[in-house]
Amino acid sequence: MKNKVLAILLAFVLLSVSNLFADEGMWLPMLISRFNIADMQKMGCKLTADQIYSVNQACIKDAIVALDHGGCSGSIISGKGLLITNHHCGYEAIAGQSTVDHDYLTDGYWAMRPEEELPIPGKTVSFLVRMEDVTSTVLSGVNETMKEEDRNKIIEHAIDSLTKEVEGNTQLEASVESMFAGNEYYLFVYQTYRDIRLVGAPASGIGKFGGETDNWMWPRHTGDFCILRVYSGADGNPSEYSKENIPYHGKYFLPISMAGVKEGDFSIIMGYPGSTDRYLTSYGIQEKINLTNPADILLKTAKMDIIKSFMDKSDALRISYASDYAYLANFQKKSIQETKALTRLKVFDDKKKQEDAFEAWARQNQDRADKYGTVISEFADIYKTKEEDKSDVAETYLQEMLMGAKVLLFAYKANELASVLEEKGDFSATVADYRQRAEEFYKDYNPEVDKQILEKMMELYKKNLPEQYYPETFKLVDRKFKGDFGKYADYLYKKSILASKEKFNSFLDHPRAKKLQKDPAFMASNSFLASYILVRVIQMGYEDRFNIARRKYIAGLKEMDPGMKYYPDANSTLRLTYGQVKPYEAADAVSFDYRTTYKGILEKDDPSNPEFTVPKKLENLLASKDFGDYAENGVLPVCFLTTHDITGGNSGSPVLNANGELIGLAFDGNSESMSSDIKYDENLQRTICVDIRYVLFVIDKFAGAGYLLNEMKLQK
């Protein structure tokens, strides 16, 4: 009877996990000819696999780019290197070009001729040249009986050899990425361009309309886009910024559809999704809900409250900290909504059923039992240990601490300078480099903001973590300042040579290693770094066990159901996802249409609220229905929904119709499906896209930069 029950359970779970929903999956483009193209064509796709991905002919993948090696995605939309991505992907660059007198964040910016395009220091754009399955090469010589340390050495050596073989003396970049937790490996070859310029960005009342209130929400009315241009050397190859550089002439650029979208339309998104955890166990779900997400929310909220209080006082601080605040707000809200969605959708229960089925399957014969029988119990033991030692929570606190107070992060980076000074050789080049770093760092740094953040982070750290993770700095605070973090912070920012640009540059005039090493900020940073290393040492005690269990679990799942088409977790490599334009029901009696129009912008307009203030020119254009060629039946579209499977890093990804024409840009997800990094939900998961016709309307009618449309290939 017991075996019969197990068999029924196994069959039920296999059935539920085997039938991937048509819209689920972040697929490697090189594999769509094998796994996906037939299904895509049944859904309405008019393209061949080679038109999407090929190494032998120009194709769509040649127009898809990774910004800053995967922070966001974008696409080439002209033969002159014109690139479109999200406004929030260009936000830091726009802020970097802004001043109180030239506030491009608020007012927008449009270059009306090439010489007005603004260079963006540090911005990169990478094109994928090709990808290749190198699993057999990387895992050659590896077996299941060897120690994890020995396995890793063999893999690292193979990866190093592969990347060196590709790069050689070329301008290509190569990386080998693990898939399915180390069961497979793929080589990715890129060409990265480093001369990127800002062409146009809409006013915040368009590009950031709705602000944090509407973030992760539908309906949306945000024109979340900006326009960049990629430049190359005269030979077409990557080059550092130069006035002599020319617009990039690539293999392919995306045509743009003016035909619009309707419910049920097939569509594709290609981009560089950052990270998912679809194979996370029920134990990992519990940790997220009960431990790490609450810590993340607490710390980010505390930092946001401090930053916002200063931003409200000064336009200069508003501009300087706009990007920091937007980053914190985005991920704080994500953690909040993810916890709600995980709970509401009972993701823990689904994972537990899958694990029970896995154990039942593993027990069906001795070979499986020997190989997979202890995998789930291993996870249980590891997560129990992590909950008891609080190491994962401590890691969250330490990361927020070191990246929250900017002076600590800059002090950490100054370790290289201290090492060079200790050697007593010629350090002039290093000093010059740090002068340049200082220019960049202090531009958006305010000691008063930083001081309050440091004080608050230390208070929360001491309150919520065990003593074993306390840094040595806490002993100093207790000894010299009677445990008062406020007084300690006052002391640090008053005495540290790193606390102001003037002090640091003065130090660089006569640099000495001992002076830097005894600096309060430098010592505090290294103190927290030592605590971080302690946490990592504790985690490494079970990291190998975890990696082995995860690798076996995923391998076992694939063996358990060989008929299922599996896709690897996102890891900032090029992926394709396909689906439909579709509405959804958010909750009982709450239904949403698949699109929004200009009417919603006017309905949300609130001059008393900066998040919903509509620029006067836009208000006039909309009120008078001066839509140009961009309306459909007299109505200007703004945003629409699709069922695509995306995550962070997909921001700015092009949304393509069945013919491979650009119809919009992906820029957000809906709050109801915020568990999507872990589990795709067919009923709730939606991608929020800005309609390309609204983008063209803003460029032409609002910004008066219609000349840019002459570069594009517009399809009626």
pLDDT digits (tens, 9 = 90+) for 581-598: 999 999 999 999 999 999
Segment 130-138 shows an average pLDDT of 98
Beta bridge partners of 585: 591
Question: d(Cα 666, Cα 654) in Å, to the nearest integer?
Answer: 6
Q: Is the model's pLDDT at 428 over the cut of 50?
A: yes
* Burial (Cβ within 10 Å: 0-12, 13-18, ≥19) of residue 1: exposed
Cis bond before residue 654 (omega within 30° of 0)? no
Band of pLDDT at residue 637, cut at 50, 70 and 90: very high
Q: For the residues 309-332, what does the mean pLDDT come to?
A: 92
3-class DSSP assignment, residue 590: strand
The reported pLDDT for the residue numbered 22 is: 60
Percentage of the residues of the chain whose pLDDT score is greater than 70: 97
Look at strands 590-592 and 687-691 and give their pairing.
unpaired
- At position 566, the amino acid (one-letter code) is Y
For the CA atoms of 587, 665, 565, 45, what is the dihedral angle to 10 degrees?
Answer: 110
> What is d(CA 21, CA 23) in angstroms, rounded to the nearest whole number?
5
Q: What mean pLDDT do residues 139-166 have? A: 95
Q: What is d(CA 386, CA 165) in angstroms, rounded to the nearest whole number?
A: 40
Nearest Cα residue to 303 out of 204, 397, 414: 397
pLDDT at residue 674 is higher than 50: yes
Above pLDDT 90, what percent of the chain?
A: 93
Residues 6+ apart with CB under 8 A from 184: 133, 135, 178, 568
Give residues with Cβ within 8 angstroms of 367, minimum separation 6: none
Report residue 613's pLDDT band, with 50, 70 and 90 as the boundaries: very high
Cα(first)–Cα(last) distance of the chain, in Å? 65
Active-site residue numbers? 88, 224, 651
Nearest residue to 697 (alpha-carbon basis) of 628, 632, 635, 640: 628
Six token digits for residue 200: 């146009």
**How far from 629 is each of 66, 453, 619, 662, CA to CA, in Å?**
31, 50, 18, 17
Instruction: Return the pLDDT at 10.
Output: 44
pLDDT of residue 11: 43
Question: β-strand 82-85 against 226-232: which pairing, if any?
Answer: antiparallel
How many angstroms separate the CA atoms of 438 and 464, rounded? 34
Whether 14 shows a pLDDT value over 90: the answer reads no
CA 135/CA 162 separation, integer angstroms? 11
Query: Which two structure tokens, joined as six digits, stand for 578?
Result: 């396909």
What are the φ/ψ torsions at residue 221 (nearest 5 degrees)?
-140, 40
Mean pLDDT of 320-327: 91
Identity of residue 617: K
Per-residue confidence (pLDDT) for residue 403, from 0 to 100: 81
> Which of 132, 104, 131 has its CA nearest to residue 118?
104
Confirm if 573 and 179 have CB atoms less than 8 A apart.
no
Q: What is the DSSP letter of 56?
A: S
How far, in Å, CA of 656 to CA of 410, rounded? 42
Per residue, the 3-state secondary structure of 162-193, as one string, reads: HHHHHHCCCCEEEEEEEEHHHCEEEEEEEEEE
Q: Residues, the chain, total?
A: 716
Q: Give the burial class of 140: count Cβ atoms within 10 A of its Cβ; 0-12 exposed, 13-18 middle, 19 or more buried.
A: exposed
Q: Please check the confidence at residue 425 and state whether its pLDDT lies above 90.
A: no
Residue 200 has pLDDT above 90, yes or no: yes
Rounded-to-integer distance, Cα 592 and Cα 583, Å: 6
pLDDT digits 0-9 by tens, 499-526 = 999 999 999 999 999 999 999 999 999 9
d(CA 216, CA 586): 13
Mean pLDDT of 611-620: 97
Give the angle subtended at the CA of 583 by the CAs of 580 and 588, to the nearest 5°.
140
Q: pLDDT at position 580, please?
A: 97
Q: In this structure, which amino acid lies at residue 450?
A: D
Tens digit of each residue's pLDDT (9 = 90 or more) over 349-371? 999 999 999 999 999 999 999 99
| CA 363/CA 377 separation, integer angstroms | 13
pTM here is 0.90
Q: What is the mean pLDDT of residues 197-215?
A: 96
d(C-alpha 345, C-alpha 79), whole Å: 46
The whole-number pLDDT of residue 205 equals 97
pLDDT at 169: 84
Tell me the HSE value of 8 on the side-chain side, using a 13 A CA sphere.
5
- Separation of alpha carbons 11 and 15, rounded Å: 6
Q: Which of 639-649 are b and which e, b meaning 16 or more Cβ less than 10 Å from the residue's Cβ?
A: bbbbbbbbbbb
User: Measuring CA to CA, how many Å separate 420 from each of 417, 502, 516?
Assistant: 5, 22, 12
Task: Quote the pLDDT of residue 402.
Answer: 84
**15 pLDDT exceeds 80?**
no
Domain ranges of the chain: 35-124+194-272+570-643+653-665+682-716, 282-556
Q: What is the DSSP string of 519-578?
A: -HHHHHHHHHHHHHHHHHHHHHHHHHHHHHHHHHHHHHHHHH-TTS---PPP-SS-EEEE
pLDDT at 18: 38
What pLDDT shows up at residue 7? 43
Alpha helices, H only, 423-519: 428-443, 447-464, 472-481, 485-495, 501-509, 513-517
Strand partners, 653: none
The answer to whether the CB of 654 falls within 8 A of the CB of 632 is no
Beta-bridge partners for 597? 637
Q: Which alpha helices (DSSP H) does 363-427 contain, by range?
A: 366-372, 375-389, 391-404, 406-413, 415-422
| C-beta separation of 261 from 642 below 8 A | no
pLDDT at 227 over 60: yes
Top-tier CATH class for 35-124+194-272+570-643+653-665+682-716: mainly beta
Give the integer Cα–Cα distance in Å for 238 and 231: 8
pLDDT of 1 > 80? The answer is no
Q: What are phi and psi of 264, to 5 degrees?
A: 95, -10
CA 267 to chain centroid: 22
φ and ψ of 667, to 5 deg = -140, -10
Q: In this structure, what token pair is assigned to residue 240?
A: 């550092």
pLDDT single digits (tens) 31-83: 999 999 999 999 999 999 999 999 999 999 999 999 999 999 999 999 999 99
Which of these, 639, 642, 640, lies nearest to 578 by C-alpha position? 642
DSSP H stretches of helix in 576-687: 598-604, 616-623
Separation between Cα atoms, residue 202 and residue 652, nearest integer Å: 15
- Mean pLDDT for the chain overall: 94
